[in-house]
Amino acid sequence: METKDFDTYSERKAFDETKEGVKGLVDAHITEIPRIFRVPQGTLSDKKPSVSASDPTIPIIDFADVHVSRERIVEKIKDAAGNWGFFQVINYGVPLNVLEEIQGGVRRFFEQDLEVKKSYFTRDAAKRFVYNSNFDLYSSSLCVGWRDSFACYMAPDPPNPEELPVVCRDAMIEHTKHMTSLGVLLFELLSEALGLSSDKLKRMDCMKGFLMICHYYPPCPQPDLTIGTNNHSDNSFLTILLQDQVGGLQIHHQDHWVDVTPIPGALVINIGDFLQLITNDKFISAEHRVLSNRNETRISVASFFSTSMLPNATVYGPIKELLSEENPPKYREITLEEYTKGYFKKGLDGTSYLSNFKL
Piece of the chain touching Ni ion by CB under 5 A; list 121-129, 162-170, 231-239, 329-337: 231-239
Site for ligand OGA in 272-311 (CB under 6 A): 288, 290, 300, 302
241 belongs to the binding site for ligand OGA (CB under 6 A)? yes
**Is the bond preceding 95 in cis, omega lying within 30 degrees of 0?**
no
Beta-carbon contacts of residue 258 (< 8 Å; ≥ 6 apart):
49, 55, 56, 57, 58, 250, 251, 252
Q: How far is the CB of 308 from ligand OGA (least distance, A)?
A: 12
Residues numbered 117-156 forming contacts with ligand OGA, rule: CB under 6 A: none
Residue placing its CB nearer to Ni ion in the complex, 223 or 272 = 272
> What distance in Å separates the CA atoms of residue 171 and residue 44, rounded to the nearest whole number?
35
Of residues 279 and 306, the one with the C-beta less far from ligand OGA: 306
Q: Which is nearer to Ni ion, 207 or 251 (CB)?
A: 251
Residue whose CB is less far from Ni ion, 154 or 251:
251
Rounded-to-10 torsion of CA 242, 226, 259, 135: -40
CB of 229 to ligand OGA, least distance (A): 6
d(CA 232, CA 316): 21
What type of residue sits at position 220? C
φ, ψ dihedrals at 156, nearest 5°: -80, -15
**Residue 142 binding target from ligand OGA, Ni ion, none, CB below 5 to 8 Å by type:** none
Residues making up the chain, counted from first to last: 359
Q: Which residue's Cβ has the minimum distance to ligand OGA?
A: 300
Q: How many residues bind Ni ion (CB under 5 A)?
A: 1
Contacts of 14 (CB under 8 A, 6+ apart): none
Q: Is 234 in the site for Ni ion (CB under 5 A)?
A: yes
Q: Which stretch binds Ni ion (CB under 5 A): 38-46, 230-238, 247-255, 324-332?
A: 230-238
The binder of ligand OGA chosen from 175, 215, 253, 282 (CB under 6 A): 215
Question: Should residue 251 be labelled a site residue for ligand OGA when binding is judged by CB under 6 A?
Answer: no
Residue nearest to Ni ion (CB): 234
Comparison of 73 and 80: residue with beta carbon closer to Ni ion? 80
Closest approach of Cβ 338 to ligand OGA, in Å?
20
The region of 40-48, 68-76, 134-142, 241-249 touching ligand OGA under the rule CB under 6 A is: 241-249
Q: Nearest 5°: phi and psi at 147?
A: -165, 160
H or E segment and range at residue 87: strand 86-90
Least spacing, CB of residue 40 vs ligand OGA, in Å: 20
Can you tell me which of 148, 188, 192, 234 binds ligand OGA, judged by CB under 6 A?
234
34: left (phi over 0), alpha (psi -120 to 50) or beta: beta
DSSP state, 222? Answer: S
Strand 60-62 vs strand 86-90: parallel, antiparallel, or unpaired? Answer: parallel
Q: Is residue 249 at the binding interface for ligand OGA, with CB under 6 A as the rule?
A: yes
Q: What contacts 229, CB < 8 A, 6 or more positions away? A: 145, 147, 215, 289, 290, 348
Residue with Cβ nearer ligand OGA (164 or 241): 241
Spatial distance between the Cα atoms of 103 and 298, rounded to a whole number of angstroms: 10
Query: Residue 218 or residue 228: which is nearer to Ni ion going by CB?
Result: 228
Q: Compute how many residues bind ligand OGA; rule: CB under 6 A.
A: 11
Residue 220 CA to residue 227 CA, distance in Å, equals 9
Encoded amino acid at 48, one letter: K
Q: Which residue ranges make up the site for Ni ion (CB under 5 A)?
A: 234
